[in-house]
């Protein structure tokens, strides 16, 4: 069959039939970069991205939403203790019915999308996979496309593939998976597919050709099955951050105008026993600050966006300080968030850290997130291999908060704990002791007026390719033989009561997973009682503030109303909030268009990687 005409590539951003998180609809730079790379090669592409609030609103419309919204006001807002049991029973029943409705809608959606792929004679379908139900629906789409359009090559990528590697292909109907970066690999596959289809080749021949390229080392970052059906992966080759193309966004795409900037990649420490980031990002990279600033300026100028998220796993103060220097020197008006790591020797460096963070705050930093993990040095060193101490974490938080006070600009600090967590064998440390130490740490910060703005608590889990997973018995985990295949498709929603999550057949020191969730819930309850906001990340803090929610009460309100929107599928609050965020982002960007800021009136000098129109079909979207 000749497949020389039609669409070269369709990119689908997988979804579960409803919004999963507040950040679903944010600008997504990963697929934006892929779109840029494919456009630069002259490919004809379509992007199918459901992660837009207008689509969610239309797609999930159902008769249960009004009653769910009414019930949520009584159960979660008014604290109607007397009727809570009966109302909860009705709530749970309606949630079960809602799940059935969403499932029916998704089955029709998958069928319709598969038909569209056939009608457009799509040569390659690229799927951005996410966790849980979104991965399961990716598999369902792949299976249906294979049935209806046997000549469409199906390739999966995205966060789930990046984390689970070869396991993502073992029992899935995808033809190939691309690990980590697809700018080179995907374009090479499309060129090969186009050429062979123009010669009248069949899909089986295309697969054989690509497999041969993999076997002879002529293609990187590819997960494939050899002639015997064994899943293998070619060596991973990452582009330097300096050579990666800028993402290509559509201006009026219905997304939330918070853009992601790759100021760095990976973690400069990269040795934590529990962290999967090194498995995904590889060797730590810092992008030239001049290129980071160039991308920020282009995003401001072309897209009218003034809100940003730095993408690095851990942006050290040495790097963020230099970026701040460049932002201030250019007189750029932006606001941004980033993920950080506690600075070593923070106590003796406190004055230096306060001074640098003051500058970073002046440059627009408005939210940070860092992992505490546990307030016990033995566990941090022997179990976590964290590379810093409880004291380092405390004085890093203190420095950031003090800098915020000195600058009279609020900066949200979010921190995370892993509880329950593994405990050193023979140490005599108990989980109760760990809980107490965690709470004392938080109480100390609060009493000294350095209280973090949000605390995230999750139970320990042996994530793929971490020391905790590879040596799970040494750390006290008991996992089933098919653990990674189970976790690959495990669905959990942070907005839902953990007691409603499905059982995961793992345990820690004999504690079953659901009991681990209850222990996390107990810590969360005690942290709330101490006056803390829980389970709000840095980008959600940035969104809340940009939508006009101020102070702790504002953050609590944003968190509550966002969660209820996700649970009830009544997205009016999110839609209104996104509109406010976009307006705030636009006004920030407009501050840069003044006669005094000459950078926006100088002749444009395009970056080599971005000579491409900003108008591309469809939308894509964390």
24-59 burial, b at 16+ Cβ within 10 Å, e below that, comes to bbbbbbbbbbbbbbbbbbebbbbbbbbbbbebbbeb
- Residue-wise pLDDT for 134-191, tens only, equals 999 999 999 999 999 999 999 999 999 999 999 999 999 999 999 999 999 999 999 9
| Tokens, residue 611 | 């000579």
Q: Which helix (H) or strand (E) holds 112?
A: helix 84-119
DSSP 399: H
Nearest one of 414, 412, 409 to 361, comparing CA atoms: 409
Q: How many CB atoms lie within 10 A of CB 96?
A: 9
pLDDT the model gives residue 86: 87
Cα–Cα dist 278/163, whole Å: 10
Cβ-based neighbours of 239, under 8 Å, separated by 6 or more? 181, 183, 184
pLDDT the model gives residue 80: 52
Cα–Cα dist 458/520, whole Å: 6
Instruction: Specify which residues 48 forms β-bridges with.
Output: 12
Per DSSP (E only), the strands in 262-341 are 264-265, 285-286, 307-310, 335-340
CA angle 394, 399, 400 (to 5 degrees): 100
Confidence band, pLDDT 50/70/90 cuts, at residue 502 = confident
Q: How many CB atoms lie within 10 A of CB 83?
A: 12
Q: What is the 3-state secondary structure (H, E, C) of 160-229?
A: HHHHHCCHHHHCCCCCEEECCCCHHHHHHHHHHHHHHHHCCCCHHHHHHHHHHHHHCCCCCCEEEECCCC
Strands 412-418 and 507-508: unpaired
Phi-psi region of 453 (alpha: psi -120 to 50; beta: other; left: phi over 0): alpha
Cis before residue 116, ω within 30 degrees of 0?
no
pLDDT the model gives residue 610: 34
Cβ-based neighbours of 221, under 8 Å, separated by 6 or more? 178, 179, 180, 181, 182, 184, 185, 234, 236, 237
pLDDT the model gives residue 76: 82
Topology of domain 256-582 in CATH is: TIM Barrel (3.20.20)
- Residue 323: pLDDT over 50: yes
Q: Is 460 helix (H, G, I), strand (E, B) or coil?
A: coil
* Model confidence, pTM: 0.92
| Tokens, residue 47 | 């992007």
Confidence band, pLDDT 50/70/90 cuts, at residue 533 = very high
For range 217-229, the mean pLDDT? 96
For range 197-205, the mean pLDDT? 96
- Residue 313: pLDDT over 60: yes
Cα–Cα dist 69/124, whole Å: 41
**Phi, psi angles (nearest 5°) of residue 294:** -60, -45
- The CA–CA distances, whole Å, from 605 to 251, 600, 611 equal 21, 11, 10
For range 49-62, the mean pLDDT? 96
Contact assessment for residue 181 and residue 239, using Cβ atoms and an 8 Å cutoff: yes
- Sequence ranges of the domains in the chain: 9-233, 256-582
Phi-psi region of 63 (alpha: psi -120 to 50; beta: other; left: phi over 0): alpha
Output the DSSP codes for 538-594: HHHHHHHHHTT--HHHHHHHHHHHHHHHHHH--THHHHHHHHHHHHHHHHHHHTT-S
CA angle 6, 116, 45 (to 5 degrees): 45
CA 490 to mean position of chain CA atoms: 16
- Residue 615: pLDDT over 70: no
Cα–Cα dist 477/56, whole Å: 39
Per DSSP (E only), the strands in 14-144 are 45-48, 124-128
CA 507 to mean position of chain CA atoms: 26
- Residue-wise pLDDT for 401-432, tens only, equals 999 999 999 999 999 999 999 999 999 999 99
Cα–Cα dist 267/269, whole Å: 5
Confidence band, pLDDT 50/70/90 cuts, at residue 252 = confident
Confidence band, pLDDT 50/70/90 cuts, at residue 78 = low
CA angle 367, 448, 455 (to 5 degrees): 40
> Scanning the structure block, which residue is given the tokens 């440059």?
363
- Residue-wise pLDDT for 349-389, tens only, equals 999 999 999 999 999 999 999 999 999 999 999 999 999 99
> Scanning the structure block, which residue is given the tokens 């569209």?
116
- The CA–CA distances, whole Å, from 29 to 36, 176, 308 equal 10, 22, 11
Lowest mean pLDDT segment, chosen from 332-336, 501-505, 507-511: 501-505
pLDDT the model gives residue 416: 97
pLDDT the model gives residue 491: 82
As a whole-number percent, the residues of the chain with pLDDT over 70 amount to: 93
pLDDT the model gives residue 448: 97
Nearest one of 401, 417, 418, 402 to 453, comparing CA atoms: 401
Q: Is 252 helix (H, G, I), strand (E, B) or coil?
A: coil
Q: How many CB atoms lie within 10 A of CB 94?
A: 16
Highest mean pLDDT among 2-6, 255-259, 514-518, 538-542: 255-259
**Mean pLDDT estimate for the chain:** 92
């Amino acid at each position: 069959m000749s497949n020389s005409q039609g669409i070269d590539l369709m990119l689908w951003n997988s979804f579960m039939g409803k919004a999963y998180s507040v950040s679903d609809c944010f600008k997504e730079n990963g697929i934006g970069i892929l779109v840029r790379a494919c456009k630069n090669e002259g490919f004809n592409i379509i992007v199918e991205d459901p992660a837009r609030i207008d689509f969610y609103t239309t797609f999930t419309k159902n008769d249960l939403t009004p009653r769910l919204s009414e019930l949520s006001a009584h159960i979660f807002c008014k604290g109607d203790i007397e009727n809570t049991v009966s109302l909860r029973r009705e709530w749970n029943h309606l949630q079960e019915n809602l799940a059935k409705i969403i499932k029916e809608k998704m089955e029709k959606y998958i069928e319709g999308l598969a038909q569209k792929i056939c009608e457009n004679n799509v040569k390659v379908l690229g799927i951005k996979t996410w966790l849980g139900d979104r991965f399961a629906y990716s598999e369902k789409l792949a299976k249906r496309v294979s049935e209806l359009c046997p000549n469409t090559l199906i390739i999966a990528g995205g966060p789930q593939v990046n984390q689970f590697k070869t396991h993502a292909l073992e029992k899935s109907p995808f033809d190939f998976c691309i690990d980590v970066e697809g700018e080179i690999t995907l374009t090479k596959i499309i060129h090969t597919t186009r050429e062979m289809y123009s010669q009248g080749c069949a899909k089986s021949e295309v697969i054989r050709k690509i497999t041969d390229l993999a076997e002879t080392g002529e293609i990187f970052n590819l997960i494939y099955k050899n002639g015997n059906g064994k899943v293998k992966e070619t060596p991973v080759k990452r582009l330097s951050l300096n050579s990666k193309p800028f993402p290509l966004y559509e201006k009026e795409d219905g997304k939330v105008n918070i853009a992601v900037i790759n100021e760095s990649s990976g973690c400069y420490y990269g040795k934590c026993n529990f962290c999967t980031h090194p498995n995904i990002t590889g060797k730590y990279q810092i992008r030239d600050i001049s290129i980071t600033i160039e991308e920020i300026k282009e995003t401001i100028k072309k897209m009218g966006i003034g809100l940003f998220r730095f993408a690095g796993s851990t942006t050290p103060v040495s790097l963020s300080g230099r970026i701040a220097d460049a932002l201030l020197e250019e007189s750029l008006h932006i606001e941004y968030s980033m993920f950080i790591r506690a600075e070593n020797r923070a106590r003796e460096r406190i004055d230096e850290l306060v001074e640098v963070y003051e500058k970073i705050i002046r440059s627009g930093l408005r939210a940070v997130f860092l992992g505490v993990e546990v307030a016990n040095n033995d566990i941090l060193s022997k179990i976590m291999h964290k590379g810093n101490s409880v004291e380092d974490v405390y004085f890093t938080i203190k420095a950031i908060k003090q800098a915020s006070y000195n600058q009279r600009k609020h900066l949200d600090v979010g921190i995370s704990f892993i509880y329950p967590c593994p405990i050193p064998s023979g140490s005599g440390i108990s989980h109760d002791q760990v809980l107490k130490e965690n709470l004392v740490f938080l109480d100390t910060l609060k009493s000294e007026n350095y209280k973090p703005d949000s605390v995230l608590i999750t139970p320990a889990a042996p994530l793929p390719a971490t020391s905790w997973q590879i040596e799970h018995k040494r750390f006290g985990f008991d996992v089933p033989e098919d653990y990674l295949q189970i976790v690959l498709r495990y669905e959990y929603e942070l907005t839902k009561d953990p007691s409603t999550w499905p059982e995961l057949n793992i345990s820690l020191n004999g504690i079953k997973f659901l009991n681990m969730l209850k222990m996390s819930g107990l810590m969360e309850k005690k942290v709330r009682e101490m006056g803390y906001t829980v389970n709000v990340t840095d980008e959600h803090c940035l969104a809340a503030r940009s939508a006009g929610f101020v102070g702790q009460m504002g953050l609590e309100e944003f968190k509550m109303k966002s969660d209820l929107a996700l649970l009830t599928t009544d997205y009016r609050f999110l839609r209104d909030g996104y509109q406010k965020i976009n307006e705030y982002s636009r006004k920030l960007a407009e501050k840069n268009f003044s006669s005094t800021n000459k950078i926006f009136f100088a002749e444009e000098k395009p970056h080599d990687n971005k000579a491409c129109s900003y108008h591309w079909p469809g939308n894509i979207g964390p």
